[in-house]
Amino acid sequence: MVLEDILKKDVAWKAYQCSESITIDDLLVSKIILEASGYSYDMLDRKKVAVNYTDIQSFLAKEAGSLCDSYASDLLYNLKEVDELLHQTETDFHERIAFGFWGSGVDSNTLTLSRLSRPNVYGSIASNYRALYVLDIDMSHTEGGIPEVKMTLGLVFKENEKRSVAE
């Protein structure tokens, strides 16, 4: 697996030739894994949109347990970022969060993009990650101002191993 396989073609070329930074939206999703959506406010927390994404959380937790030799709990930091976004109910937005699974934990956006933007330093995608997923979060509002959220977990890259739960 090479960088060109997971990025928009022009972006991969720029990353190699110009050391241009890769953005989270440059990552290509090869397969939709799970989706969740919610409407209205959470009954227990009126500042948070109500969405049940436990299937997504469970999937990511299983992947962390299966793909990480240590520090699988790094996943909790990424999930905390998701929870913080679900509290931003005032405006419409699209956010994408990376989950880069490797032997020593789960990388977030900053480290994932840093590794991908510097292939000459860090090596190929396959030498860095056992799996790479992105969670797209789209917040919008009804005419009455009620928040709606759609979450989509997509697979960007997965090492060809039997221990992955993505298959």
Extended strands (E) in 1-145: 31-39, 93-102, 105-107, 131-141
Q: How far apart are CA 93 and CA 69, in angstroms?
A: 35
Mean pLDDT of 88-103: 91
What mean pLDDT do residues 43-65 have? 87
Whether residue 114 contacts residue 23, with contact meaning beta carbons closer than 8 Å, is answered with no
- Tell me if 99 sits within 8 A of 78, measured CB to CB: yes
At 165, the pLDDT band (50, 70, 90 cuts) reads very low
Percentage of the chain lying above the pLDDT 90 cut: 44
Residues pairing with 133 in the sheet: 99, 155
Confidence of residue 163 (pLDDT cuts 50, 70, 90): very low
Identify the bridge partners of residue 139 per DSSP, sorted by sequence position.
93, 149
User: Averaging pLDDT over each range in 17-21, 99-103, 119-123, which range is the top one?
Assistant: 99-103
> 119 is written with which tokens?
């292939």
Among the residue ranges 92-106, 108-122, 128-142, the one predicted with the least confidence is 108-122
Phi and psi, residue 63, nearest 5°: -65, -45
Q: How far does Cα 100 stand from its chain's mean position?
A: 8
Tokens read off for 158: 């997965």
